Structure 1
Amino acid sequence: MKWYADRPTRLARQVVADLVAVAWTWFWVTLALAVGEAVRTLRAPGDGLVDAGNALSDTFGDVAAKARDVPLVGGKLADALDRGKSAGGTLTDAGGAQIEAVESTALWLTVALIVLPLAFLLLTWLPLRIRYARQATVVRRLRDQGRLDLLALHALTTLSLRDLATFPGDPAEGWRRQDPEVISALAARRLRAAGVRA
């Protein structure tokens, strides 16, 4: 596949377009990762809830274990303190849910900020580059095979009327007569249009 033109002007435009595509990709990936990290900072309250819930559960668990040693009322006191331990578990679960929500939001926001701009790029820039590469490859192959008459015929069907009017005489008639000058001139225009050196 021929990805770049031989002609300097078109080559420069293609290189600039490719560099813009790379810069576009880099910008959106960098931005998406930064936004994801910024959203992840919102998990701090959830981390605090988890830490507080774990500390509360541990404290109530330790106190309940010691309360069991109290004569007569130790069992009932330990049961009451165990309910405090379960409250710590509820607090831990709430913190975990908040952390999960923040992480999920950060992930999907990062993915969206990468996928959508890259999809736009792939739908606009990539088809143009592939179409050029295919076209230039075929045109170069025809040139290398010496099939200038086919290139001239294609030029006759694709050149604007203004371009065709610049030829001295009728280029279609010259092509039909297999006039080497007309065929060469038409083929050169087709090669130039494809950015391929004649």
Structure 2
Amino acid sequence: MSSRSRFLPYATTPRRLLMQLFADASVLIWSVIWVMVGIAVHAAVATIAAVGRQVETGAYGIAENLDSAGNSVDNVPWIGDDLRKPLTAAGEAALDLAGAGHSLDDTASWLAWVLALAVASPPILAIAMPWLFLRIRFFRRKWTAIALASTPAGEQLLAMRALANRPLPKLASVSLDPVGAWRRDDVVTIRGLAALELRAAGIRPPWR
């Protein structure tokens, strides 16, 4: 086993590695799907923000035109002031409408992100968090098992765990008397039992 592989959170046995890669692909596909859903929600709500921007731009344009018209009619003798008042009032109403459009733009833009995250985050986290927990737990188990397999005492401990955890047919495939062989410090049997425990953890025995 290369020294680099011990730093990777992946199994070194084909079956466990294939299962881990399948899990990675499933989590990735699931996350991409929900990210796309979140993007769609963001785009849908963002159209409201676009309407707000259009209202703001148009209302400001109307207000400027009305203000310009008011300044023009103000010079008309005797009735200029009377003509300007309704234009000024309409311009102020247009400015209020522009302010409402700006508020709609800000609110909708903020709401688009909030809704997108609210829709996409829960299903992604519901899958990603258990996946991450299991992958971290596997990495810690792999690191510990590799460290134990590098020493004779560690091999004995792994063999003892195999005696306690592995099925009887598996133990019998290593030795007809696995407990007795372990007590006699039979190197071949101890390594065989340790190999059972390592393979159960998804780790290829380093001495094979």
Which runs of 5 or more structure 2 residues have no equivalent in the other structure? 1-6
- Within the candidate set 11, 18, 23, 1:17 is matched to 23
Amino acid at match of 1:168: L
The answer as to 2:147 corresponding to 1:148 is: no
Residue 8 (1) aligns with residue 26 (2): no
Cross-structure match for 1:123 = 129
Partner of 2:3: none
CA contact (8 A) 2:27 2:128 kept: no
Which of 70, 80, 97 is the aligned partner of 1:64?
A: 70
Alpha-carbon distance, 1:140 to partner: 1.6
Select 1:186's aligned residue among 168, 193, 200: 193
- 2:169, 2:119 → 1: CA distance? 46
Aligned to 1:168: 176
C-alpha distance in structure 1 between counterparts of 2:86 and 2:118, whole Å? 49
Identity %: 31
Q: Give the Cα–Cα distance (whole angstroms) in 2 for the partners of residues 172 and 76 of structure 1.
A: 110
> Matches of 1:3 and 1:104 in 2, distance apart?
38
**Residue of structure 2 in register with 1:83 after alignment:** 89
Q: Secondary structure at the match of 2:192?
A: helix
Partner AA of 2:9 in structure 1: W
Shift of 1:126: 0.7
Normalising by structure 1, report the TM-score: 0.84
RMSD: 2.5
Distance 1:194 1:32, change over 3 A: same
Deviation at 1:161, TM superposition (A): 6.7
Q: TM-score, normalized by length of structure 2?
A: 0.80
Q: Shift of the alpha carbon at 1:162?
A: 7.3
Q: Which of the residues 25, 36, 44 maps onto 2:42?
A: 36
Provide the residue aligned with 1:197 in structure 2. 204
Q: Is the 8 A contact 1:52 1:91 kept in 2?
A: no
CA distance in 1, matches of 2:127, 2:9: 17
**How many residues get paired?**
197
Q: Which residue identity does 2:101 align to in structure 1?
A: G
Aligned partners of 1:50 and 1:91 also within 8 Å = yes
Cα 1:177/1:102, change in 2 over 3 Å: same
| Aligned pair partner of 1:106 in 104, 109, 112 | 112
- Show structure 1 runs of 5+ residues with no match: none
1:7 partner amino acid: T
